[in-house]
Amino acid sequence: MADSQGPTHGEASGEAPSSPSVTGGGGEGGDRSHRAYWRSNLRLMAVLLAVWFVVPFGLGIVFVEPLNAFHLAGFPLGFWFAQQGAIYVFFVLVLIYALWMRRLDHEHGVE
């Protein structure tokens, strides 16, 4: 039963509601822009996830012995990366993702 405002887009046409739209018209050009947007988004996520893996694993586990020769705030550097550095890197990566996606959304006209 439809409310007083009538059926929504998906209900009226029998189509599923779409994801955030990429403006620039319909048809093939819009589809290319949509694919380019998601390709860029997935590439960014892959790079950031790789960094997120390498920093705690590489610096906190694999290279811990050479890094422990140095100290930061009184703690061995390898220990610091495993405990604190990974958290700081995570927050920086979230900030980078948010800023980069804002730029990417603007470039591709995502609403």
The predicted-structure confidence for 10-41, as pLDDT tens digits, reads as follows: 444 444 445 555 454 445 567 888 899 999 99
pLDDT of the residue at 17: 44
SS (H, E, C) 45-69: HHHHHHHHHHHHHHHHHHCHHHHCC
- 94, two tokens: 């979230």
Q: What is the pLDDT of residue 86?
A: 86
Task: Look at 5 and 77; give whichever has higher pLDDT.
Answer: 77
Q: What is the largest CA-CA distance in the chain?
A: 71
Predicted TM-score (pTM) of this structure: 0.65
Q: What is the pLDDT of residue 84?
A: 86
Tell me the pLDDT tens digit for each residue of 57-104. 888 889 889 999 999 889 999 888 888 888 999 999 999 999 999 999
